[in-house]
Amino acid sequence: MILVTGATGLSGSMIIREFAQQNMSVRALFRNPDKAQQFHGLSDVELVQGDMLQPESLTAAFRDVERVLMISSARERMVQTQCGFIDAAKAAGVPHIVKYSGKESGVDFDPDKFRGTREHLEIERYLETSGLAWTHLRPSQFMQFYLPGTLAGVEAGQRELRMPIGDSRLSPVDIEDVAKVAVALMRSDGHEGKAYDMTGPEALSMKEIVEQISEATGIAFRYTEISLEEKLQELRAKGMPEPAIQTLNEIFAERSRRPESHVWLQTHRAFGVEPTSFLEFARRNAQAFLR
C-alpha cells in the first residue's frame, strides 16, 4: 500500500487525483474531514484520518504500507512535523519514505538566508540517517504560485503582477507534472537513495510570465516592479500572517541576489512526463487568471 500525507493540500490533492486517474490504489492521510470530502467517490482512494504531529493517531494509516510520500505544509512547523513523522513511520515498520522537498529553480539558495531551503535540507538529512530507504522529490517554484488568490500571485481582478525581484528569472514547474512524476515514482522500484530535482521548461522573467498570461487569456495583464518593502506592506494589509511574510521576505531577497535560474528536465524525461510550458499552464487556467 502507498500512503500520501498532506493529501488535502495544493500538491497532495493533485497527486491523489493523479493516482485515481491511473486507477492506482492509494491511501490518503487527512486531518480535516471537510477538506477530505473532495475525494469522496474516488474508488481507488482510501481515506484515513490522522495528525502527523500525533504518532498515536497514525496506526491505521501505517498498516501494510510499503512506501510513503511525505508532504506537509512549509508554513506549519515543517521540521517537527516531518521528523516526528519519520520516527513514527520507522517505529511502525514502514520501509521507504519519499520526501516531497523543494529546490529553487535548480539554483541552490543559501540555507542560512532562506528558511525553506534550510528546513528541507534538515529534514532530508534526518531521513537519510534514519535507517529507512529514502528518496527526495524536489520541485522548484510552482506555476500555481502566480494564480490569483495565492496572496503573492496576480492581483485578483486587477490584471496585475506586483513583484520585488527585478529582472530575476525563475523556472516554475506545473504541479500537474510533479503529480505525474510522483505517481510514477511511487509505483516503481529502484529509487532508493536518489534525489530528483524538477523545474519547468523555461527560465522566465516576471515580464515574460505576464506576457504569457496575457496571450493565454486574450486580456492585457501588466507587470509592476515594486520594492521589497512595498510588497511586504501589501501582504500585511491583505492579512498574511507575519511568519509567512518573513518567509516571502527571505525568498524575494534570495531571488534578487540570484537572478538566474537553471532548467532541469531530467526528472521529467526519466519518468516519461512531457514538461508543461507556462503558456500551456496559463491557457489551462485562463478562467482562473480572469477571476
Ligand X SMILES: NC(=O)c1ccc[n+]([C@@H]2O[C@H](COP(=O)([O-])OP(=O)(O)OC[C@H]3O[C@@H](n4cnc5c(N)ncnc54)[C@H](OP(=O)(O)O)[C@@H]3O)[C@@H](O)[C@H]2O)c1
Interface with ligand X by CB under 6 A: which residues? 5-6, 8-12, 31-32, 35, 51-53, 71-74, 76, 78, 81, 100, 102, 116, 139, 141-142, 145
**Residue from 143, 205, 179, 141 nearest 268 by CA:** 179
HSE-CB at 69 with a 13 A cutoff on CA atoms is 29
Burial per residue of 239-252, b for 16 or more beta-carbon CB atoms within 10 angstroms, e otherwise:
ebeeeebebbbbbb
How close are the terminal C-alpha atoms of the chain, in Å? Answer: 39
Answer yes or no: are the C-beta atoms of 83 and 126 closer than 8 Å. yes
Judged by beta carbon, residue 14 or residue 216, the one nearer ligand X is: 14
Query: CB of residue 73 vs ligand X: minimum separation in angstroms?
Result: 3
CB of 288 to ligand X, least distance (A): 16
Cβ 217 to ligand X shortest distance, Å: 22
CA dist., res. 138 & res. 100, Å (int): 6
Query: Residue 23 or residue 239: which is nearer to ligand X going by CB?
Result: 239
| Shortest reach from residue 289's CB to ligand X, in Å | 17
Whichever of 203 and 219 has its CB closer to ligand X, that residue is 203
- The backbone torsions φ and ψ at residue 194, rounded to the nearest 5 degrees and listed phi first, read -120, 155
For ligand X, the closer of residues 35 and 219 by Cβ is 35
Residue nearest to ligand X (CB): 9
For the CB of residue 270, give the shortest distance to ligand X in the complex, in Å: 18
- The least CB distance from residue 149 to ligand X, in Å, is 13
Using an 8 Å Cβ cutoff, are 122 and 80 in contact?
A: no
Which CA distances in Å does 202 have to 27, 115, 155, 208?
34, 26, 23, 10
Query: Between 164 and 190, whose beta carbon lies closer to ligand X?
Result: 164
Which amino acid is located at 48 in the chain? V
Task: Choose between 125 and 219: whose C-beta lies nearer to ligand X.
Answer: 125
153 or 216: whose CB is closer to ligand X? Answer: 153
Give min distance, CB of 175 to ligand X, in A: 7
CB-based contact 263:175 (threshold 8 Å): no
Q: What is the largest CA-CA distance in the chain?
A: 55
* Dihedral of the alpha carbons of 202, 290, 141, 245, in degrees to the nearest 10: 140
